[in-house]
Structure 1
């Protein structure tokens, strides 16, 4: 094969990239391409993405190639670049969102029209969506996590691939201009495969062993790999491969299995971000004032407010706090989960459609939770997982001087902290 265009989307790495590895092994020339689509480039994730692209270009240059950067419609740009470089194929990693699948269908049709080979490769998940199905029920996907986890754990995963040794561009390819990097990037993590692999190395050596006992501690450290997994800076298969069998590894790998679980649900139910997965007899109420207080971290419930302020300040939130803030919005305030999904999607650097939608529907009782009426009591959760109030004090400085026995209890500080609101629920949080 003379030349292949490899279209990058959410797989911004050179290690364990099946499409790139196969192209380098079977084609004389490889044209890596990323298309900046202004229609979907969210402001809060832009800084991270741009850093990813700079790092990816550096990695490809080190292999002897480059990253072609274009603007506009990915389908049109991929076909155009294939024609300009004499490529006979366009390859990409398979994804599951409605947007990605529409793009894949359009790209397949355009490649057929222009007599180009189009292939999709794994790489976004550990086990490809649709590969595992519950045989006895006849369903196309698993609706409950535990049996999926058992099937997933018993499945042989594809081997992890190294980075290509060499990559050759066709002559005369215009690489295009990379977007500028901001002086003060948004969020607490910096984009790119190099940084993602550094964090993964550090986590495996220094954090994984204590993960099982520390993972719900809100003020504690976590792997902070979610954004790198979302943008494909690190391969989920490599993360699982390196964590499995180590102390703390099983619990951590289980969380990565949850990621695959949500992807296989969305693969079969692409409306996950718009429609209830399970019908539930609930009438969501409209309360703009309460919703605004929740978004701004001014509900008067310290653990909820701490989480919502962390989200705006850092573009990230501890997973346990995501569940608490989501449960508070949907179960305590009775506000539609789609409002929470939209807000998280606006601010999270790791905002992933499948996981964000799956988790929001889980806490709302419309998703894959087998106990749909479960409510996470924010006071009990705070006292259990932030016992000394370190997390709350970090993000709600108005409460920093309160003693440990008061920092989490909204009704006991009513009117006692200037500038901090009283919770409208008050003592109801003890129930």
Structure 2
């Protein structure tokens, strides 16, 4: 006689990962009648307060401006607490959805505890390798990390293939759960017309937007080179918003912006620093296209944010971009180069308003509602 599968308690560990992703994922499970509980930071615990979900805010305050000693003590307390809870709550499924800032500690040491003491250990892979560390040693560390869980969750079919081809992971333990929409982009009621007036934009001006943490792999320098190549009479403007993480790259970008403005007459506005949900919603509302000129990427939460807001996308054809950027959503540049991106941006301008509709993008994006995308996990959670 076949044994009956049981719906267990699923503990989600966020490791202080992106607030909106974590909130949307957990509430998506809740809407799907999953018995979900969470170990989170203070800010996410507050956001989940009225959901009825049992939350342990073990991660505490994750403000980056905390005293370094307080950070150290907080991190030690957190990681010891995670191991303690895993041991004490053994008949549970543990799903780690946060990225691993300290791969050996969080991926291997804690991973062994998850493997030994949980009923089932599930781990979401956001990036197969860190963006700035893709050497042989890192590949070996990540392979060990990926061998420990019972189930690996990825957001694209390409990532599933790459896990097998690059790390030798069995396809049977990999589940594709598509990335869901960003509620921060859909919950704001922002008037596009009024905002464009506030930003001093004419109705005929075509506005390109780039936002998010500014790191070399995201190719902002490629975008600036392409944008600088436009005829200076074009009625366009580029908005850039985000925090720099590398001082040398920041200076290079500032130099390129200065050159584009002074030598080529380009209209470029930079909002440097942390980008609030309100500012993000405004930029997505006033923009005509979000540009993702990435050099490499496995999957992109920024892309799903664009779909949530209905803004067309111009992206380089890297990683899994082609799975999402279909002709009705936007345009793919053949490769991450100035010439390819320029061609794609010019193609967008030539066809502007004729083939891509914000309302159609929003309608197509509904299939990425979190209640829908988490469904492949529900059977995997059963024990």
TM-score normalised according to structure 1 size: 0.32
Higher strand proportion, which one? Answer: 2
TM-score normalised according to structure 2 size: 0.35
